[in-house]
Amino acid sequence: MSVSGGKNIMVYVETVSQSPVSGALEVLSKAHKLAADRGEKVIAVLIGMDLEEAARTSILAGADQAIMVKRETYDMEVFGEVLTKLAEKYRPSLILSAGTLAGKDIMPMVACRLHTGCAVDVMDITETDGQLVFTCPVYGGTVLNQLIITGTPAIGVVRSGAFAKELISERTGEILEEKVETEDTNRLKIIDVVKEMAEAVNLEEAEVIVSGGRGMGSLENFKLVEQLAEACHGVVGATRPAIEAEWVPRSHQVGQSGKIVAPKLYIACGISGATQHVSGMIGSGYIVAINKDEDAPVFDIADVGIVGDAVKVIPLLIEEIKRISSR
């Protein structure tokens, strides 16, 4: 069924352990601004159990209304159907979600069922002549497309860090529960969920990220990246070659096929600056690059570049940082 003549912005708020993921709160804050300009409201949708606290957080982040739908476990198809049915009932003009793996799974399905289009990896949303314009990277981020979605509702999956999260404690809104009937087709049956990572790697929310690339040379040298991250109270990131060399698990990957990050400080160690990596960290506030190749493209985007072997530079840098922070 298609939904036409919509109004208001619906945001799917993904939760992990009953808390909204950071990306969803960023999207809510952006939606709040867009809706205010259009005289519309923001409807957050949360699916799971015991989500009252998460619903309240969604209101603080910018939702006017938070709808909770009870489901015991995650199922892409069921979650997609819940959102589709709520979209048919509430008729939004725009549906947004954070660019998590789940968001990228569910939203295309909703788009397909509503016969509309879904823009992914959205970096910006603006309004021109009443039309919503989405900015999306192509060719690894060296080119940007500004596009409109002709179907209704428009659907967007937003890149993490694209918008700032603003939690305002004075905000109020309505929290309600909806019962949504879904057909359990069981096309795909989840039989096990395996957590490989000892601890969650939260690159998207990190204020400081220290990343290592091929130039670190070995597993042993890569430990220097970890030590520098510790000295800066940051999180460890990595490029694809470092992941493939198994110096660090895949959950640390920054770049087009990994995480898109925007920390306040990003230190790139032994990273040449290939487009695939740079497109994932170009939104960082301040970039420091350490590389022995003077012509490495990473220096073109760095605020401070140190030409030198990262293996020799990092220990000195750690010492300096410790000295300064102990003052």
- Candidate ranges 5-13, 61-69, 167-175, 316-324; the one touching other proteins (CB under 8 A): 316-324
Instruction: Name the residue with tokens 């040449």.
Output: 272
Q: Tell me whether residue 82 or residue 120 sits nearer to other proteins (CB atom).
A: 120
Task: Say how many residues touch other proteins, by CB under 8 A.
Answer: 75
Interacting residues with other proteins between 86 and 105 (CB under 8 A):
100-101, 104-105
Position among 19, 182, 227, 275 found at the interface with other proteins (CB under 8 A): 275
How far, in Å, CA of 192 to CA of 3, rounded?
36
Check: CB of residue 271 under 8 Å from CB of residue 287: no
Check: CB of residue 158 under 8 Å from CB of residue 98: yes
Does 210 help bind other proteins (rule: CB under 8 A)?
Answer: no
Report residue 244 as tokens: 């493939």
By DSSP bridging, strand 174-177 and strand 65-70 are parallel
Position among 197, 207, 220, 233 found at the interface with other proteins (CB under 8 A): 197
Position among 37, 39, 181, 188 found at the interface with other proteins (CB under 8 A): 188
Burial 38-48 (b: 16+ CB within 10 A, else e): bebbbbbbbbb
Q: Tell me whether residue 171 or residue 308 sits nearer to other proteins (CB atom).
A: 308
Least Cβ distance, residue 49 to other proteins (angstroms): 19
Does 300 help bind other proteins (rule: CB under 8 A)?
Answer: yes
- Candidate ranges 88-96, 162-170, 214-222, 310-318; the one touching other proteins (CB under 8 A): 310-318
Quickly list DSSP for 225-276: HHHHHHHTT-EEEE-HHHHHTTSS-GGGBBSTTSB----SEEEEES----HH
What phi, psi does 37 have (nearest 5°)?
A: -65, -30
Interacting residues with other proteins between 97 and 156 (CB under 8 A):
100-101, 104-105, 108-109, 111-113, 116-121, 133, 135, 137-151
Position among 49, 200, 219, 233 found at the interface with other proteins (CB under 8 A): 200
